[in-house]
Amino acid sequence: MGKFKTALIQSHWRDTPEDNFNYIIKTIEEIGRQGDVRLICLPEFFMGPPWYFPGKIHYKGIVDDTIPGRITDKLGELAQKYNAYILGGTIVEREDDKYYNTSVIISDKGEILGKARKVHCYAAELISIQAGTEQLIVDTPVGKIGTCVCSDFWIQEMPRMLALKGAEIIYVSGASLIQDIDITRPCILANSVHNVCYTLYTSVVGKAVGQRAGLPTFSIEFGGYTTAASPKEILGTLNDEEKVLYAELDLDYLRELRKVDIKFKNTLYWGLWGRRPELYKDILNPYIEAKSDLKTLLNDYLKD
């Protein structure tokens, strides 16, 4: 497949998980009725704030689900109905007594092709859920798709490894922290440049407020900035509005950019072909200043 259309849904949190899910369903149906969208991307936490966020413990057992389960069954039904692949944001996945922050890829036949559990858990996730251990890359008629779950994207090795395994589209189910909003777009574009790929970064907008670590109030706020980027430009971007971002991807164009130009006039391929991996063994070492792991530091902080 050469050119095709993709849709990135940026949603606002509503009062309940059911309200959030109903909005996603309605929006997918509106996109699907157009008849020309092959890839639909959802944001992280599209069901609403997870139960481990400040003030949201009452959502435990409500916002989470099994995979497969009620949520993925409905997404699969919509994918099949509208002949579109759905990159399914994230669901707080429940498996026995364990929880994961999980993204799924659903085919245009409604089948779950794979799931990515967040590898680099962030903040409260370090002590509330389990970390994944594997990356997800799926070869589809709309390209080789690799998945980063939110903070996985900010660990450079994660999208890099996906690109080295052949990922042409790196999908980020994100939630852009408001304090980092201004650096988000440049990093999305840089990812596409360095890895010679399309980056589809889809974010939610919302806020959770409650108590944590003895503080009277503690808030987490996400500010959107859903963005689609190619190796040469930002194809489209949003601010904090609730909207669908459409972008056209061209796999033939991307594959040409990845080819070696022995005259060195076209240079983007260099990021993949010019490497000397034998020199990078120190990448396996922790940060030189790291005296303790994050989970221990967080546990100590919460005890204070």
| Tens of pLDDT, residues 131-166 | 999 999 999 999 999 999 999 999 999 999 999 999
pTM: 0.95
Q: b/e for 27-53, b at 16 or more Cβ within 10 A?
A: bbeebbeeeebbbbbbbbbbbbbbbbb
- With 80 as the cut, is the pLDDT of residue 291 above it? no
d(CA 196, CA 229): 10
d(CA 66, CA 182): 35
| Closest to 273 measured CA to CA, from 260, 284, 283, 263 | 260
In sequence order, which ranges of 149-235 are alpha helices (DSSP H)?
A: 157-164, 184-195
290 pLDDT band (50/70/90 cuts)? confident
Residues 6+ apart with CB under 8 A from 243: 10
**φ, ψ (nearest 5 deg) of residue 49:** -60, 140
Percent of the chain's residues with pLDDT above 90: 86
- With 70 as the cut, is the pLDDT of residue 214 above it? no
What is residue 137's predicted lDDT score, i.e. its pLDDT? 97
Cβ-contact 170, 200 below 8 angstroms: yes
- With 80 as the cut, is the pLDDT of residue 275 above it? yes
Does 211 or 74 have the greater pLDDT score?
74
Distance of CA 31 to the CA centre of its chain: 20
| Tens of pLDDT, residues 88-98 | 999 999 999 99
Element holding 249 (H helix, E strand): strand 243-250
| Tens of pLDDT, residues 27-66 | 999 999 999 999 999 999 999 999 999 889 999 999 999 9
For domain 3-303, give the CATH number: 3.60.110.10
d(CA 142, CA 134): 22
129 pLDDT band (50/70/90 cuts)? very high
What are the structural domain ranges in the chain? 3-303
The average pLDDT across 188-194 equals 98
What is residue 215's predicted lDDT score, i.e. its pLDDT? 65
The average pLDDT across 78-104 equals 97
d(CA 294, CA 285): 16
